Amino acid sequence: MSSKSFDILKTIKHLTKSTDDAFYCICNLSDIYEKYKMWTSVFPDIKPYYAVKCNDDLTALKLLASLGIGFDCASKLEIKKILSLNVDPNKIIYANPNKFIADLQYAVNEEVSLMTFDNECELYKIQKIYPRARLVLRIKSEAIRANYPMGNKFGCDPIEEAPQLLKLAKALNLNVIGISFHVGSGCQEPAAYGRAIANARKVYDYAQTLGYNLSILDIGGGYPGATGTSIVEIADIVKRALNAYFKDVDIQVIAEPGTFFVQSAYTLACNIYALKTLTRKEIDGTKVPHRMYFINDGIFGSFNCVMSYQEEVYPITLDEYPHSKQVSSSIWGPTCDGLDRVVKEISLPEMAIGDWFVFENMGAYTIPLITSFNGFSKPKIYYVIDQNIRSSVKNSDLSIINVCGIEIINEGDTSALRGFLKLYHSII
């Protein structure tokens, strides 16, 4: 176990003793900051526009905004949230190729002018509502393997459709300034980025024949964000492809990472509030015990990915059970829906009501997907900062709880974030 997760487990242990809340999510702000540093060291010339849809937790957004990065927004509400943090509208890309008319009107009013399109209807819509918009053509160029492919819904074919769309944009006197792609979330084929950049160059060249001098290449999302993963291989491929296909032109490269920034920062702690022990009959007729654990978060909550994308999640037991035998077990969510199963089959020690499971890497596509189905609430989020800045934290205006050497910031405390950043910058 990494020292990071050890510290987080200590924090959770403390919280489970000292508060009445049923379940928690710990957000390690230092982890997000480390990701930012990682991005800027690996991609110094590629400006990230964080994809808000991935996790719209306000405190994380505040931290990212304070770091000066841009944002990829999909709707009026996301744009509104980002603008409320005093982010310059020019740092937003409205990266939804199909926009509601009312949302587009809002973008006009707020001067969020950079936006994507991938079809004719959208061009007519934009011409009517926002003819001055700065348009980015989203092409389809996907990874062979991705956890969440997107090409069935978004992007135009770079060879067949892109030229037609560019011609129409020209005829409508629209301002196309860039090309974007998304190889798929959880990209399992780094080479896909190289292919997509090569495709983008073909579109760039065609656009030039129409008189468009494109100035933005948006290389989308898809970068891994779980603890222990790396973006170095992708970065090497991206750099090589940019060198091969875009070296001769003056183009600003941007990206829309979501998962990368937040996945590893969030750790969820769930409590066992009910359990059942069954006897199961194996194929050979032998009878084996099976325990069903019921926890207070499920697939209609933070574990939505288990239902929507058949993802597997791996629980850690908060306590150790050295004297317990391992038993075949399953873990279930709290709703009355029979589908609400978080883990299908796992060998676990015999645990009791009141014991805790911890799930790491819960920051991407979890919080925004939580529903109120069956009347269950969201986990309370606690924000933590690593121990190495503890002594300096004491002197700042942070409102904090000190837990085992980890400082926990009060939720929603902006001054805390400002203090944290000031401090972090002075240390690094």
Under the binding rule (CB under 6 A), the answer on residue 407 touching ligand PLP is no
Q: Site map for ligand PLP, 133-172, x if CB under 6 A? A: ----------------------------------------
Nearer to ligand PLP, 133 or 364 (CB): 364
The reply on whether position 197 binds ligand PLP by CB under 6 A is no
User: Which CB sits closer to ligand PLP, 113 or 259?
Assistant: 259
Q: Taking CB under 6 A as the rule, does residue 222 contact ligand PLP?
A: yes
**Interface with ligand PLP by CB under 6 A: which range of 83-91, 252-260, 274-282, 306-314?**
252-260
CB of 54 to ligand PLP, least distance (A): 5
Verify binding: residue 182, ligand PLP, rule CB under 6 A. yes
- What residues act catalytically? 336
**Binding to ligand PLP, residues 321-360 (CB under 6 A):** none
Phi, psi for 286 (deg, rounded to 5): -70, 150
In the complex with ligand PLP, the residue whose CB is nearer, 72 or 297, is 72
- Judge contact between 334 and 374, C-beta under 8 A: yes
Q: How far apart are CA 64 and CA 50, in angstroms?
A: 8
Using the minimum distance from each CB to ligand PLP, give the nearer residue, 72 or 355.
72
Q: Which is nearer to ligand PLP, 194 or 224 (CB)?
A: 224
- Among candidates 349, 286, 361, 257, which has minimal Cα distance to 36? 257
Collapsing DSSP states into helix, strand and coil, what is residue 190? coil
Cβ contacts of 414-423, under 8 Å, gap ≥ 24: 414/62, 416/383, 417/29, 417/59, 417/62, 417/63, 417/66, 418/66, 419/393, 420/29, 420/63, 420/385, 420/389, 420/393, 420/396, 421/63, 421/66, 421/67, 422/396, 423/389, 423/392, 423/393, 423/396
Where do the H-state alpha helices sit in 292-388? Answer: 304-308
Which one of 70, 155, 194, 221 is in contact with ligand PLP (CB under 6 A)? Answer: 221
Nearest to 203 by CA among 184, 218, 220, 224: 218
301 counts as binding ligand PLP under rule CB under 6 A: no
CB of 355 to ligand PLP, least distance (A): 32
Work out whether 82 is an interface residue with ligand PLP (CB under 6 A). Answer: no
Binding positions for ligand PLP, 18-77, rule CB under 6 A: 51, 53-54, 72
Ranges assigned E (strand) in 282-364 = 287-295, 315-317, 326-332, 341-349, 356-359
Interacting residue with ligand PLP among 258, 298, 315, 333 (CB under 6 A): 258
- Rounded Cα–Cα distance for residues 144 and 127 (Å): 35
Q: Does 256 bind ligand PLP (CB under 6 A)?
A: yes
CA–CA distances in Å: residue 336 to residues 307, 312, 330, 339:
15, 21, 16, 9
Residues at the interface with ligand PLP (CB under 6 A): 51, 53-54, 72, 95, 182, 185, 220-223, 256-260, 364
